[in-house]
Structure 1
Amino acid sequence: MLRASQGHRVLAVCAIAVGLSACAPRPQDIETGAIASRQPLEKAMVDMPAGGPAIVGVVERRYANSTLQEIILANRARNPNQNFIKVTMFGPVKVTTGPENQFPNDPLALMNAGQEMRWFMPGVKMSVSQLYAQNRYGSFGYATGRASTGDSCLYAWQRIRAPDHDSTMISNQGTIAIRLRYCEPGASDLDLLNVMTGFTINAYFLSPGWNPYGSPPPPPDELGKPGATVLPDATAFTGSVPSVTRTVKPKVEVAPVVSDSEVYVPAISVVPTTPVDGYATVPPP
């Protein structure tokens, strides 16, 4: 039998043990302060056009106002740096960092484009194009150049945002910024531009107010109306099915074997003379 004083001491020790166990830290995963993380290839925000270039890596950075993906593309060029397409989506992102980590959402000035090109295109003399270019998301600017290694290079930039007259405080909000750095040996300017015009954005914010594309364009006036003829473009009928070229092996004629007892009379070859009025004349025998 325990005395009353001993029982109180046992209860006090038990209470202290329970309190210490409750205050002990629980097991947790280690967190890092980096805002960049590697993502699987299928999580890329864009799909590249058929035929490439292929996506070989995705690095994602989360900011307080946006999410940026640097999508690394396959590279066969010999000049330094890597091919990539950067996609920055501004919108109602999930809070994963402090409010001070804001990514700038300003239109790209030509001066800033030059600074970016000097950073991503070291040693390549780039020339900003004065020609108008547009893909399915709107107009974009670009510059082309040729590296000392012979590689053809393209740097393009685009800002996708709904027109001001379509944007309101609760609808058509959001912006998508695009940067493309691409070098390819022996490529023409059109080959490089096909990458900028061929990609597809496959990411979005599931929010009713997020729509940087604006209102969809109306159908053509003649579509579906009687009296109007609508046919595919003439180029749709050319080159869609490549012609098949078959190689025909020439027949090899074997001369007949003539025995000594046979008399062989060589054939007389008839050679046409100069054509007269489009027809060949044969000399008399």
Structure 2
Amino acid sequence: MAVLAAFTAGCQSTGNVRHLNSSETVPAENALALPPPGGPSIVSVVEHKRGNGTEQIISLYTSSSVPGQNFLKVQFFGASGANPGTGNASYQMISESGIIREAFAAVPGVQMTRSTTYLQNSYGPFAYASGESGLGDTCIYGWQQIRSSRSAHTQARNFGMIQVRLRLCDRRATERQLLGIMYGYTITGTLDGEIWNPFGDPPRVDTTLGRPGNPIYPDQGGYRNMPLAFGYEPIRPEIQSRVVRVRGVQPKAEEVPTQLPPPTGPRVPLPDATSGLPVQGISVLPATDQAQPRTTTATIPTVPSPDCIGDSAMTAACQR
């Protein structure tokens, strides 16, 4: 009877195809985190809903020879049972060994070194590892946990949490330029309900506001300037001219204009009518300017008139 019941139940099944998970592609405007203005563009967004939250892998534009895709990964951890039937996402504390394994898995073939400098963006402290491939590509792998302080948990609220991972490799950007993405990305989603607020309580207003005896001047900015600029400009490739060589023909050398040698010898000035010298007197200057000019008299040849050529040359006027 049991075998017959199982056979009957199998015949009554519909046989429809169903998805084993709830992953789906969503539009870029539905991304729960966005890169900064001028940063790498979004290629696609894959969303996976969990029983205790939502996970998105935001693929970013990649220009690198390192295998893999640039991405910004965000995980929202909230109330259990938010998406029933999909299973809960496991949460593990960030450890040094575990995060380095993540970095090596995200950037294969690149020796990654963890930075020991304390860094902090608008959401709190974060850390990263960086490395350079054999072909000169720069890579970083950053991580951050956004969660309210433990003192806020005693008030039975602010239990939500956001995990962020950033993988960036680029062949034309520096480490400092890629690090600017960790400073400029924006979280656009949150969890419903004040009890699951992952950002904690907002900071209190400065006590000096509105208090007499505490002037505030225009040049006193409340926030320091960002140390890194958002985004980075791609380096334009240099255009190199090539010389085409034809067999049996030598490339023509560039013609250089020949320079005339400087003039040498005495300089002869023009006759000066006001000097009182005769027309046939010519002043000759030596090569040096310090020497005094000397005046020499030269005979100027007389050009005969056309009337004195031939038989007319015997006239009295032509014999003078």
**TM-score bin, normalised by smaller chain:** 0.5 to 0.7
Cα distance 1:224–1:124, how it changes in 2: closer, same or farther (>3 A)?
farther
Classify the secondary structure of the residue corresponding to 1:88. strand
Q: What CA distance in whole angstroms lies between the structure 1 residues aligned with 2:71 and 2:192?
A: 26
1:210 aligns with 2:161: no
Structure 1 contact 66–89 (Cα < 8 Å) conserved: yes
Report what 1:143 is aligned to.
129
Q: Secondary structure at the match of 2:150?
A: coil
* Counterpart pick for 2:45 among 40, 43, 58: 58
Q: SS of the residue aligned with 1:114?
A: helix
**Could you say if the C-alpha distance between residues 80 and 222 of structure 1 is closer, same or farther in structure 2, counting changes exceeding 3 Å?**
same
Between stretches 29-38 and 203-212, larger displacement belongs to 29-38
2:25 aligned counterpart, secondary structure: strand
Following the alignment from structure 1 to structure 2, what is the Cα–Cα distance between the partners of residues 96 and 54?
33
Does the CA contact (< 8 Å) of 2:145 and 2:163 recur in 1? yes
Q: What is the rounded CA distance, in whole Å, between the counterparts of 2:220 and 2:42 in structure 1?
A: 32
Equivalent in 82, 85, 95 of residue 97 of structure 1: 85
Residue type of the partner of 1:45?
A: L
Cα distance change on mapping 1:194 and 1:214 into 2, 3 Å: same
**Residues 115, 223 of structure 1: alpha-carbon distance in 2 compared, 3 angstrom cutoff:** same
Match of 2:99 among 105, 109, 113: 113
Structure 1, unpaired ranges of 5+: 1-24, 237-264, 266-285
Structure label with greater radius of gyration: 2
Find 2:72's aligned residue among 85, 92, 107: 85
Give me the TM-score of the superposition, normalised by structure 2: 0.61
Please tell me the residue identity of whatever aligns with 1:97. G
Structure 2 unaligned runs (5+)? 1-11, 226-269, 271-320
Q: 2:170 aligns with which of 147, 166, 184?
A: 184
- Once the two structures are superposed, residues 94-141 of structure 1 have per-residue CA deviations (whole angstroms, 9 ceiling, x without a partner) of 32425xx32222321010011111111111111100101111110011
8 Å contact kept, 1:223–1:230: no
**Match for residue 72 of structure 1 among 34, 39, 59:** 59
SS in 2 for 1:62: strand
**Matching of residue 34 in structure 1 with residue 37 in structure 2:** no
Checking the alignment, whether the CA contact within 8 Å between 1:55 and 1:74 is kept in structure 2 is yes
What RMSD in Å do the two structures reach over aligned CA positions? Answer: 2.5
| Structural mapping, 1:258-269, within 5 Å | none
- Among all aligned residue pairs of Structure 1 and Structure 2, give the percentage whose two residues are the same amino acid: 34
Determine which of 98, 115, 119 is the counterpart of 1:133.
Answer: 119
Pairing 1:237-252 to 2, within 5 Å after superposition: none
Distance (Å, rounded) in 2 between the aligned partners of 1:212 and 1:29: 40
Q: State the distance in 2 between where 1:52 and 1:232 align.
A: 30
SS of match in other structure, 1:141: strand
Shift of 1:193: 1.2
Match of 2:239 in 1: none
The Cα of 1:207 is off from its aligned counterpart by 1.7
| Structure 1 residues 207-263: Cα deviation after superposition (integer angstroms, max 9, x where no partner) | 231111111112333334343234346897xxxxxxxxxxxxxxxxxxxxxxxxxxx
Give, in whole Å, the separation in 2 of the partners of 1:169 and 1:163.
Answer: 11
Aligned to 2:251: none
TM superposition score normalised by structure 1: 0.68
